[in-house]
Structure 1
Amino acid sequence: MLRGSGAVCRARSGAGPVEEIKARRRQQEWALRKARREKQLISKRLLRELQGDGEEIEIRDPSVTQEEVSQLFQRIQCGSEDRVAALRSLCQLLHLKEVQMMFVRLENSMHVLIGLFTSNLASVQLEAARCLLELSHANDPSISLVCLPATPYLLTYLSGQSAKFTEQCLYILGNLAAEDETVRNQLLLQGVIQALATCLQSPHGAVVEAAAYSLSQLLQAKEAGEKIVPAVLEAGLTPRLIQLLDLDSEFGMHTAVESAWCLHYIVSSGVNSECLISQGLVHQAVILLIALGHAIDSGTTTDGVELLIYPVARCLGNLIASCEAALCRGQLLDCRVLQALSSIISKFLQSQPSVTRECLWVLNNLTAGDERFCSAIFSLNLLPVLLQLIPFSGGINTLVLTLLGNIAEMGSEHCEKLQQQEELFSALCTSLRTADPEAVRLTLEVLNLILSHCGQACVEFVNQNGIPALEAIQYNSNKEIRVRANFLMDRYFTDKAV
């Protein structure tokens, strides 16, 4: 089945306090994307800790009065020599929700701010852009609407000469697009898709990353499948997004992260996936996951790599589960992807269990009805790692049990190989004793498949004290589970019950 939308932050490679601030913001937005996926919240981008020179902005005392905001606005209006300083002070205050509302309610405030945004003085224009960026990050949808008159200028400036200013404009657009359908409709009419297509071809990595972020914000919209995804496909953006899924690209990992989320939203929108598969998305996703798995095995991964793994795994899993599954499997020629997924699962089991779940889900989709991948699980010796996951909760155990069921459904040869695994029946007995009814149900299904194909498996199960575990389930409050347990007892162990 297709899994729905998920959601992120930004930053580029580098070191020092600036990159630490950006990394912190990335982690915060990772949490927002996760929350949005689970609760349909909105994720926005803001690097308000940074000034243009890379220094941290001092956060002012939150007790600000309407009079102070009005005086600051008067300084901005007067055109005095300290206008830039006044704009900078306003930018610092606009991170406060109360100040945002105080400012936009001032008569002519947005008209003046947008006027300064179109100034021919670069310093004034840049500070006005920072103020707009703060406002675009507001939680109140009404504020995004008062920023609406700025959108034609934002789109116009995307073709300017300053990469830094273009980057700012892209993040403002992305934040505004996240909030309100009215804004998105206007942006579509004004040609935002073509403008983003041009920015994605920029030689500047920061601009490409920001463009992909803005596009991902559009693609998260509830109406994306109907209005936005068709426009993106018609504009031919997907080949470029697929091309950016490359750790060796000059644009780096964080651009790949944003591109991966864009592709995930497109895939999960329900669009016919044939074009994406034919453009090489499956092939590129597999290559990327193998590279990430190798990096994990060699200990050369970088912080935040899970931000990339998550959307790439979702893209691949959704495409395998789509109606174009046969076409998709034609690109799945490299079984090393199984080893890569196993390495990722082990790496993030404790720190990022959601990443582990996604990779297990991909493994499930790969092995469902596919003898080649089921056999590769044995040849790559991945079962010991997977069996160790059965005691884990949170959906991890049920995904592993489903995968075991996929293998057992392949028939006698595969069931024989399963029962030869030393830890198999011990793990299954542990699962029978869990309080999770779905895990117990799946365990009974796996047991039935193995026991029906392997006479020796009955002996191994008994030797692992499986009978008491099975007998205890016969008194389970879940009727379906009781019926399944009774069936196994009657069919395989009637003469062995104590």
Structure 2
Amino acid sequence: MTLTETNIGRDIAEDGKDDTGRSQQYKNNTKHEELRRRRTECSVEIRKQKGADLMMKRRNITDVEEDDEIVSESDNEEQQKTSHGSTRLSNEEVKNILSNNPSEDDMVRCFESLRKSLSKTKNPPIDEVIQSGLLIALVQALSVPNERVQYEAAWALTNIVSGTTAQTVAAVEAGATDPLIKLACHQSAQISEQALWAVANIAGDSAQLRDYVIKCHGVEALMMLMKRLDMLTDSHVRTVAWAFSNMCRHKNPHAPLEVLRILAKGLVKLVQHPDRQVRQDACWAVSYLTDGPDEQIELARESGVLSHVVALFREPESLVAPALRTLGNVATGNDTLTQAVIDLGVLSEILPLMEKTKSTSIVKECCWLLSNIIAGTQKQIQAVLDANLLPVLINVLKSGDHKCQFEASWALSNLAQGGTSRQIAALVEYNAVPALCAALNQTNTDMLNNTLETLYTVMVTIQNCYPNQMDHLHEQVEELGGLDALERLQESQSEAVYSQAYRIITEFFTDEPAADANSAENADPASPWNF
């Protein structure tokens, strides 16, 4: 068996690294396509979670002196005879025994020894096992009609495919995938869980290996397990949920739509499971599923899983994180999908969440979600204002963590770009000018552009629609140091920052006594903007 047609070695190094820049991650469906952002894996920070069991690859590590309970009762007595006090076999000794018509007891002893070696916490000898040629033996052992042999081989292979891509590909090319998927549906829960663990490791390695798992009927195996989910232990269901997560994870390319449609149906049940870890991994799976084109997001909406995702907002923050990511992804879709987020009652959950959390990551994700809703229609912008979330965004811009400030700047910029004159004027009403003036002292170019665009639009809107407030706004910008900051920004190396700062000064401040004496033109009181 060979996977050379998939170009795995070459392709995987590039998988998940396509970052086309922040400016292309924003959109306003009716005005500015660049305003709504599509989250890329390169920028993911919220998924920095504790524990090796939350990674794409998981190893089954145990005390090398610890013996395992084996499903078959007839094996228990034999296990006591062969395991306790047994010495570890070298790879050469294992090869010699397996090459000379071994008995089932011999096979158990050999594969148990391999499994224990590969279960070492530090520096497991994966490459040594591969180079010794024992991979083929482990794969063949999966088909031996002895549950103990199958279990030990599946465990050993789990730890091999938890390694590097090259190590995982070696196991796949040795033929491990198909028999492991078959064993994932074994009547023995212990063998089934261990084999599924290995399959999940393979799928989690790359989009190419995920597709190979799909080709070997891995999705069908998962759905068979879903039919008997209520009979599985929590540990087993956690492995199922994690396998779903890895099947949805990669996006270069995404899994086929028909596969994601099937997985979405299973996720509806998993995201409601009583076990918290199951719900968490299942929700991350939904977040990966929705991190794509509108057709993928629509699958999640049609499945009915999103209403259960919203319910996770009231759970611990380990569950809030994937729920926010999921709904933020949905809001990146078209206006209908964005409206679905609003209709689920998400906005009423955001305010109490932002008020109680101490996590800057949660605040940042809330601002990102809101910025994508605000990048929708004016009716959707109004829904954010009606939920009393504008003051929260302004406060984040004024005094939040710098990453949170960055997201808040996009939200306010989206409002300025797409809102009605009344909605834009709400920025003044809720005292956004001090926060905008303070943000002019930031160094991030994108944030400066957002802030300058927002301030310019606010001043144009007030000048044209609320002229009696213009003098106060003018004085406020000066008194808060905004004018000084604008003058400094005219020296910026960024052409966009310089141009926007120059535009604001030229149109709104050149007729002041403190203006540059070399400026011959005064600001034209008649703005071309028509609100």
So what's the TM-score if we normalise by structure 2?
0.71
Separation in 1 of the partners of 2:206 and 2:442? 45
- Equivalent in 44, 48, 51 of residue 24 of structure 1: 51
- Equivalent in 92, 98, 106 of residue 70 of structure 1: 92
Separation in 1 of the partners of 2:201 and 2:333? 31
How far the C-alpha of 1:5 sits from its partner, in A, is 4.6
Distance change (3 Å), C-alpha of 1:111 and 1:488: closer
Contact 1:283/1:331 (8 A) holds in 2: no
Residues 332-389 of structure 1 deviation map (CA, whole Å, 9 limit, x = unaligned): 2255535426725873544xx3x54333221111122444554454554444443343
Separation in 2 of the partners of 1:432 and 1:406? 17
Partner of 2:393: 386
How far the C-alpha of 1:170 sits from its partner, in A, is 0.9
Partner of 2:60: 47
Secondary structure of the 2:493 match is coil
Secondary structure of the 1:268 match is coil
Moved more, 441-450 or 471-480: 471-480
Distance change (3 Å), C-alpha of 1:426 and 1:259: same
Partner of 2:419: 410
Alignment pair present for 1:317 and 2:353: no
- Equivalent in 77, 90, 110 of residue 114 of structure 2: 90
Separation in 2 of the partners of 1:376 and 1:257? 29
Partner of 1:452: 460
Partner of 1:343: 353
- Equivalent in 458, 463, 482 of residue 498 of structure 2: 482
Contact 2:347/2:387 (8 A) holds in 1: no
- Equivalent in 180, 184, 192 of residue 166 of structure 1: 192
Partner of 2:166: 141
Contact 2:440/2:485 (8 A) holds in 1: yes
In structure 2, the gaps of 5 or more residues are 1-36, 70-87, 463-469, 515-531
Which residue type is aligned with residue 61 of structure 2? R
Which residue type is aligned with residue 342 of structure 2? L
Alignment pair present for 1:232 and 2:259: yes
Contact 1:84/1:127 (8 A) holds in 2: yes
Partner of 2:75: none
Alignment pair present for 1:493 and 2:501: no
Residues 399-438 of structure 1 deviation map (CA, whole Å, 9 limit, x = unaligned): 211212333442343344322335x333222211112222
5 Å-filtered alignment, 1:71-470, equals: 71-74=93-96, 78-79=102-103, 84=108, 87-94=111-118, 95=120, 99-107=125-133, 109-147=134-172, 148-179=174-205, 184=210, 186-201=212-227, 202-203=229-230, 204=232, 205-221=234-250, 224-225=253-254, 228-233=255-260, 236-246=262-272, 249-250=273-274, 252-270=275-293, 272=295, 273-285=297-309, 287-288=310-311, 291-292=312-313, 294-295=314-315, 301=316, 305-306=317-318, 308-323=319-334, 325-330=335-340, 332-337=342-347, 339-340=349-350, 343-344=353-354, 347=357, 349-350=359-360, 353=361, 355-390=362-397, 395-408=403-416, 409-422=418-431, 424-454=432-462, 455=470, 456-470=472-486
So what's the TM-score if we normalise by structure 1?
0.75
Separation in 2 of the partners of 1:127 and 1:344? 48
Partner of 1:61: none
Distance change (3 Å), C-alpha of 1:485 and 1:90: same
Residues 24-44 of structure 1 deviation map (CA, whole Å, 9 limit, x = unaligned): 2245x2xxxxxxxxxxxxx31
Separation in 2 of the partners of 1:186 and 1:279? 25
How many residues are matched? 436
Partner of 1:57: none
Separation in 2 of the partners of 1:114 and 1:151? 9
Separation in 2 of the partners of 1:487 and 1:112? 73
Contact 1:141/1:179 (8 A) holds in 2: no
Partner of 2:21: none
Which residue type is aligned with residue 471 of structure 1? E
How far the C-alpha of 1:169 sits from its partner, in A, is 0.9
Distance change (3 Å), C-alpha of 1:370 and 1:183: closer
In structure 1, the gaps of 5 or more residues are 11-21, 30-42, 55-65, 296-300
Separation in 2 of the partners of 1:378 and 1:270? 28
Contact 1:338/1:377 (8 A) holds in 2: no
Separation in 2 of the partners of 1:326 and 1:405? 22
Contact 2:330/2:341 (8 A) holds in 1: no
Which residue type is aligned with residue 343 of structure 2? L
Separation in 2 of the partners of 1:153 and 1:210? 18
Q: Identity percentage over the alignment?
A: 20
Residues 184-233 of structure 1 deviation map (CA, whole Å, 9 limit, x = unaligned): 555333322211112233222433332332243333446653xx423414
Higher CA-based Rg: 2
Distance change (3 Å), C-alpha of 1:485 and 1:146: closer
Contact 2:478/2:484 (8 A) holds in 1: no
Partner of 2:81: none
Separation in 1 of the partners of 2:89 and 2:415? 70
Runs of 4+ in 1 over 6 A off after TM superposition: none
Distance change (3 Å), C-alpha of 1:214 and 1:328: same
Distance change (3 Å), C-alpha of 1:210 and 1:231: farther
